[in-house]
Structure 1
Amino acid sequence: MRNDELLSDDRASIVRSPDPAQVRAVETAIALPAHVVQAKGHGHAGTAMALAPVAHVLYSRVLRHDPADPSWEGRDRVILSAGHASLLLYVQLLLTGYGLEPSDLERSRGLDSRTPGHPELGHTPGIELSTGPLGQGVASAVGMSLASRRDEALHGAGTGLFDPTVWVIAGDGCLEEGISGEASSLAGTLGLDNLVMLWDDNRITIDGPTDLAFTEDVRARYRAYGWRVLEIDDPLDLDAVEGVLREARERTGRPTFVAIRTTIGFPSPARAGTAAAHAGAFGVDDVAEVKRILRFPPDAGLEDLIPDEVLAHTRQALDRGARMREEWLIRFAEWERTHRAESSRRRVLSRGGDPEALARELDTVSAGIPEPGASVATRATNGRVLNALAPQGVLWGGSADLSDSTSVAVPGTGVDAAHPGGDFIRFGVREHAMAAILTGIAVHGLWRPFGSTYLAFSDYQRPSIRLAALMRQPVVYVYTHDSVAVGEDGPTHQPVEQIASLRTVPHLDVVRPADAHEVVGVWRRLVHDRMHPTALVLSRQGVPVAPAGAPPDPDLIARGAYVAWMNGRGADAAILATGSELSLAIEAAKHLADEGVQVRVVSMPCETWFEREPADYRAEVLPSSLRARVVVEAGRGAGWYKWVGLDGAVVSVEDFGESGPGAAVLERRGITIGNVVEAVRRVIAGV
């Protein structure tokens, strides 16, 4: 039936199903986004309206979930990568019984509402991931899929208890973003058959038809990635939709791509199928006509659009979910009884590992650190830590095709289609997707994920890092080749602005250890911190072990900053340093001490850790009366003025590097003992 015929027919529903209650529920799900956005004057109704029939079938007929227990371990996961269509999820969460009320829809996009403009983890029951930047949800869903398959492979013993279906809803914009292609390619290579992508093929973006900039054969692309491709030609035929969704969740050794041909904003007479349906209110008259087409009074209010008979039908999801959860719990109890080793191991992992065992492994690494004065790259020590912790099973990750160079190679078998329980992940040259995949693994909850590349390439990952920080997910980004000391590879590979830039991300801990002892000390804290992502910044070149002459106190390292070396009371000046520049700072301090200057050197591996310390400890390390302060770091220095103030100075790298030996580039860019000494003299003279 053509759209104009549907719109002219006042007698029949546009939704087709032999079940009148299901038809009415879908009419409600289509009408609500149009009404809510019109009432508020802003928001995104078009996609939420077009996909409402599919979402209804998914949540009421296909999805394994229990609205009364949103955190039930056996549930499927639903990720809305096209996060602007958040009303699509909120409507289903309201209708199926997740605890939302009509007033929550009215308050959507408002301060402190449970229905923010884009889905946010922790704000709304039933939301599995914060999404919004397009394509991110696709890649993080790949991470969830990887983690679930590994969980089942290592613990499930063929029961299927820990292998849910991960559903990700994506639009044209998501598939235009490069991150989705990176992640989808890897998902096909790894045979993630617990992953289903529902693609809203509406052929509309904000600027107009997608063919203005997007003309590829998306279905052929996904077949080339190794995905199975299914079609939903008519989302208004609910039985047909259910058949395809049930087929999609069948395990075939490949991820599944479901192309859904929709009309954005349907059945709006004025905006359906146009870019105007993407955002904003449709207009009073148009929304009234939408309601009439959906067999509601044109002036129906929010409560009128949710009839009691609709709730009676959709809230059957509570009974259905309770039955599924109870059946799962019975199977889970049997699994615990018959698989005690797997059960015990999984419980330990869910708690973050065995603290005593982790401490013993780190003690072993610490005992193997060379004597003071030896030259060891911090990336090398970090590699030894990862290898020591690997048998404990708490860490899981890999690199963007750089495992040997960044020293994150661990023993064992890599993940592939035949080995979902592999010991590490080969991400390939996919830095952006790697970062978002790590977020999905972290949200799954069993492992502390890590991924590694060169620091200069962290720029590829910024949107994913930002979302991990927003969600407080404990991802560890291992960055090596941390400064212009990279040397001969030249300025394209020599990070200058990256450390300072990463330090601006809220809730991201940027940690730059100075030597082997600080690397181990940092990990003593990291293995227990499950609330913050961490950028661990490491040197390629060798740096002196214990540059102060003796190993530092591990407890002080974990506090973010400590006095590493001091002449007298250190009352005349303070030199602050991180990473490879700590040894240089200590040498400069010794020169000043020979001149009678009472100078202290403060190692600050992580300023955010230090900021969380009590005020009395911070004052002990950096007394407020000590105004003569100098920072030295081989990167941009703007962020350091918060520590040195207007009276202090920063010795830093303020231009890109150049190709040449690392030591020569550092000297040319001013990272020298002499420059630090001169800076301290100037600051003392000016205070």
Structure 2
Amino acid sequence: MTDSSLDQQCINTLRFLSVDMVQKADSGHPGLPLDAAPMAYVLWTKHMKYHPADPQWADRDRFVLSAGHGSALLYSLLHMTGYGVSLDDIKQFRQWGSKTPGHPEYGHTPGVEVTTGPLGQGLANAVGMAIGEAQLAATYNRDGHTVIDHRTWVIVGDGDLMEGVASEAASLAGHLKLGKLVCLYDDNYVTLAAGTDITFTEDRAKRFEAYGWQTIKVADGNDVAAIDAALNEAVADTARPTLILVRTHIGYGSPKQDSFKAHGSPLGVEEVKATKQKLGWPLEPDFLVPEPALQHFREAQARGQQAQDDWNGRLDGYAKAFPELAGELRARLHGELPDGWDSDIPVFAADAKGIATREAGGKVMNAIAPKLAALFGGSADLDSSTFTNLKGFGDFNPAVTKGEDTQGSDSAGWSDAGRNLHFGVREHAMGAIVNGLAVHGGFVPYGSTFLIFSDYMRPAIRLAALMGVHAIHVFTHDSIALGEDGPTHQPVEQLASLRAIPNLTVIRPADANETAVAWKVAVATTGRPVLFALSRQKLPTLDRTRYASADGVRQGAYVLSDAKDGKPALILIASGSEVSLILEAAAQLEARGIAVRCVSMPSWELFEAQPQSYRDEVLPPDVSARLAVEMGVAQGWRRYTGEHGDMLGIDRFGASAPADALLREYGFTVENVVQRAKALLQK
């Protein structure tokens, strides 16, 4: 068999495994696998570095199918190259419990680097992966010892490039000169519902050139040699990310070629036959894997073993030359926390005037950073407001050279090894890039902005929870108490909305010491993202000789102060800034002879993870008089107040006024809490 005929057999194997998957499932997207198989084949057999026997090898190249609806193509690649995806798995495409779900899922299918499907997310995740490689390489590589050296490859479609998150991420990638990021654009002129002529006629190449990308055009998506040459050209440009625009034909070879009808529905029995006949593929059997094609793809196993063996050798040499650095790198790549990483976290002295929890969080982060090299992230242009800058650790910004006009920046130095990542005003991309860093490995990544702008990030936060990745989101300005900026910036429904996301831990600490414990919890958490809601305004630092230890944050809710005889007639529950409010109200109620328990509840999710016995201990079932106080919508609080309880919240938007006036007008005063509590006791 000639090289060209073997190439064609391999490409058609990918095509028809995918087509047969979709047809058998009677569900899926055959269009992309039919047209993108040649570019995927060239990439996976001639350019990409990976080891199917060890999908988590640290220095592998990363591949992201951002156009995740084309998952059948990815599963075909994984099966053919020898990952743990069998032909039986292929035949169970989109079925209950299979390894081959409708869109790629991280942690579910070996070889899938990130969960994709919502368009644009994968491209932004890939930017995070490329940033991760660059930062680790700059931090650990030394002359003669290159231990971090891999690329990030992406296949994107028209829908990906239309989404705003892709624009945000691509803009940042160009600015950061991420030369090891290469995107193959399946440029087929067709979307789900129509041709791109009705929605997407801009010059995509010029757009990406304006972002600072190299762009290369391949006129024929079936031209293996041209694709190969384009990939070589992409790799040669180390200073710019690359977009390769590959002109393809959706549903190639089928009766539905070049039609949106090929996008998201099975071709149909007769159409499958016609497609196989046109491309010279046997009609029977389905799921045909010719032996020459399988052997050719499986050469990836030996290549991967050799590449990993070479890397292990380099790593051993590196460890002899730089034992401390090597130990730190190994620990990071395995997700291990160094001993004593939290030993310098401050304990804050009692202070009635107090400190904003955003400021306390900044102090805690800067106590952790020197001992936790993996801590890496930044804000969406809000460092001075979110207090998330890691002082003295420089900025990750290789696009800017030292000495260049940085327009007022007080950076400690621009470098690939810097640990402060400036996302710019790109909240959605920030969330997705943080996810990319998390799945890349080697980082405890974080992003930060105001709580209200979590709305711009929700898709990425949801995907972080779905994937179960260790990402941290620091949200500040958590309530109407931010004041004069008004309702556009005052979160009301955001806490309830975020708490509704499965597998996401939301923590709203009441003071500086709760914030410190919250950070301990967040860094040590595995298998889920963690989100902070921190105050703009100062909050009293509670006297822990008088009140319970802030370590109660670990349980999500705890008895902060109790009735003198331990038998409360009334329970006041609050989170965040409202905790000090219920303590003041409790003092007045107790002066009137009412036995009150105050419960700080910074995290519903941590509380729900506790045994029922603990939850009943904190909220005794026989005490029905319960008042929850939180500056947000009441939704969800009924589970803790019960049918006979009450909730002082905000079920309308905020207003522009000084914070004190807002709290008074919205009823967040000691007098109103006391009145609402007394009313409960009179029922």
TM-score scaled by structure 1? Answer: 0.94
Give how far 1:293 is off.
Answer: 2.0
Is residue 2:247 matched to residue 1:261? yes
Q: Encode CA deviations 1:54-107: one digit per residue, 9 max, x unaligned.
A: 111111221101111111112100011111000111011111111222221221
Q: 2:463 aligns with which of 460, 463, 467?
A: 467
Is residue 2:568 matched to residue 1:594? no
Asked if the contact 2:106/2:112 (under 8 Å) is kept, the reply is yes
Asked if the contact 1:151/1:163 (under 8 Å) is kept, the reply is no
In structure 1, distance between residues paired with 2:357 and 2:59: 41
RMSD: 1.6
Is residue 2:360 matched to residue 1:394? no
Runs of 4+ in 1 over 4 A off after TM superposition: 351-356
Matches within 5 A, 1:42-441: 42-158=27-143, 159-268=145-254, 270-298=255-283, 300-303=284-287, 305-350=288-333, 352=335, 354=337, 356-362=339-345, 365-366=346-347, 369-392=348-371, 393-411=373-391, 412-417=393-398, 419-441=415-437
In structure 1, distance between residues paired with 2:547 and 2:229: 65
Give how far 1:334 is off.
Answer: 1.5
Q: Which AA in structure 2 matches 1:387?
A: N
Deviates more, 1:33-42 or 1:558-567: 33-42
What residue is the counterpart of 1:558 in the other structure?
A: 554
In structure 1, distance between residues paired with 2:84 and 2:468: 24
Distance 1:73 1:502, change over 3 A: same
Unaligned stretches of 5+ residues in structure 2: 400-414
Q: Which AA in structure 2 matches 1:108?
A: F
In structure 2, distance between residues paired with 1:355 and 1:557: 23
Give how far 1:344 is off.
Answer: 1.7
In structure 2, distance between residues paired with 1:171 and 1:354: 38
Q: Encode CA deviations 1:646-681: one digit per residue, 9 max, x unaligned.
A: 111000011101110111112211222222222222
Is residue 2:658 matched to residue 1:673? no
Q: 1:661 aligns with which of 639, 658, 661?
A: 658
Q: Which AA in structure 2 matches 1:179?
A: V
Q: Which AA in structure 2 matches 1:24?
A: Q
Give how far 1:511 is off.
Answer: 0.4
What residue is the counterpart of 1:28 in the other structure?
A: 13
Q: Which AA in structure 2 matches 1:174?
A: D
Q: Encode CA deviations 1:188-235: one digit per residue, 9 max, x unaligned.
A: 101111111111111101120112111111000000000111122222
Q: Which AA in structure 1 matches 2:316?
A: A
Deviates more, 1:71-80 or 1:567-576: 567-576
Q: Which AA in structure 2 matches 1:250?
A: A
Deviates more, 1:462-471 or 1:94-103: 94-103
What residue is the counterpart of 1:10 in the other structure?
A: none
Asked if the contact 2:146/2:314 (under 8 Å) is kept, the reply is no
Give how far 1:248 is off.
Answer: 1.9
Give how far 1:267 is off.
Answer: 0.5
Distance 1:79 1:623, change over 3 A: same
Counting matched residue pairs gives 664
Q: Encode CA deviations 1:556-610: one digit per residue, 9 max, x unaligned.
A: 2211111111222242111110000001111111111122111100001111111
Asked if the contact 1:22/1:313 (under 8 Å) is kept, the reply is no
What residue is the counterpart of 2:603 in the other structure?
A: 606
In structure 1, distance between residues paired with 2:335 and 2:567: 40
Distance 1:545 1:423, change over 3 A: same
Deviates more, 1:101-110 or 1:450-459: 101-110
Asked if the contact 1:31/1:290 (under 8 Å) is kept, the reply is no
Asked if the contact 1:485/1:666 (under 8 Å) is kept, the reply is yes
Deviates more, 1:567-576 or 1:473-482: 567-576
Asked if the contact 2:222/2:248 (under 8 Å) is kept, the reply is no
What residue is the counterpart of 1:6 in the other structure?
A: none
Give how far 1:549 is off.
Answer: 6.6
Give how far 1:249 is off.
Answer: 2.4
Give how far 1:464 is off.
Answer: 0.2
Give how far 1:452 is off.
Answer: 0.9
Give how far 1:43 is off.
Answer: 0.4
Q: Which AA in structure 2 matches 1:302?
A: D
Q: Which AA in structure 2 matches 1:171?
A: G
In structure 2, distance between residues paired with 1:323 and 1:474: 31
Q: Which AA in structure 1 matches 2:352?
A: G
Asked if the contact 1:510/1:535 (under 8 Å) is kept, the reply is yes
* SS at 1:639 equivalent: coil
* SS at 2:681 equivalent: helix
Give how far 1:242 is off.
Answer: 1.7
What residue is the counterpart of 1:481 in the other structure?
A: 477
Give how far 1:379 is off.
Answer: 0.7
Deviates more, 1:112-121 or 1:343-352: 343-352
What residue is the counterpart of 1:622 in the other structure?
A: 619
* SS at 2:51 equivalent: coil
Matches within 5 A, 1:525-604: 525-546=521-542, 550=546, 552-568=548-564, 569-604=566-601
Asked if the contact 1:352/1:528 (under 8 Å) is kept, the reply is no
Distance 1:685 1:301, change over 3 A: farther
In structure 2, distance between residues paired with 1:290 and 1:351: 46
Distance 1:350 1:161, change over 3 A: closer
Q: Encode CA deviations 1:496-534: one digit per residue, 9 max, x unaligned.
A: 111111110111111000001111121222221122211
Distance 1:243 1:355, change over 3 A: closer
Q: Which AA in structure 2 matches 1:394?
A: A
What residue is the counterpart of 2:450 in the other structure?
A: 454
Q: Which AA in structure 1 matches 2:370?
A: P
Give how far 1:355 is off.
Answer: 5.1
Q: Which AA in structure 2 matches 1:301?
A: P
Q: Encode CA deviations 1:105-154: one digit per residue, 9 max, x unaligned.
A: 22111111000000001111110000110000111111111011111111
In structure 1, distance between residues paired with 2:146 and 2:359: 39
Asked if the contact 1:396/1:449 (under 8 Å) is kept, the reply is yes
In structure 2, distance between residues paired with 1:394 and 1:67: 27
* SS at 2:388 equivalent: coil
- Percent sequence identity is 42
In structure 2, distance between residues paired with 1:466 and 1:483: 22
Unaligned stretches of 5+ residues in structure 1: 1-15
Deviates more, 1:258-267 or 1:21-30: 21-30
Asked if the contact 1:108/1:116 (under 8 Å) is kept, the reply is yes
TM-score scaled by structure 2? Answer: 0.95
Asked if the contact 1:165/1:249 (under 8 Å) is kept, the reply is no
* SS at 2:500 equivalent: coil
In structure 2, distance between residues paired with 1:124 and 1:266: 27
In structure 2, distance between residues paired with 1:549 and 1:583: 15
In structure 2, distance between residues paired with 1:551 and 1:414: 40
Asked if the contact 1:37/1:43 (under 8 Å) is kept, the reply is yes
* SS at 1:231 equivalent: strand
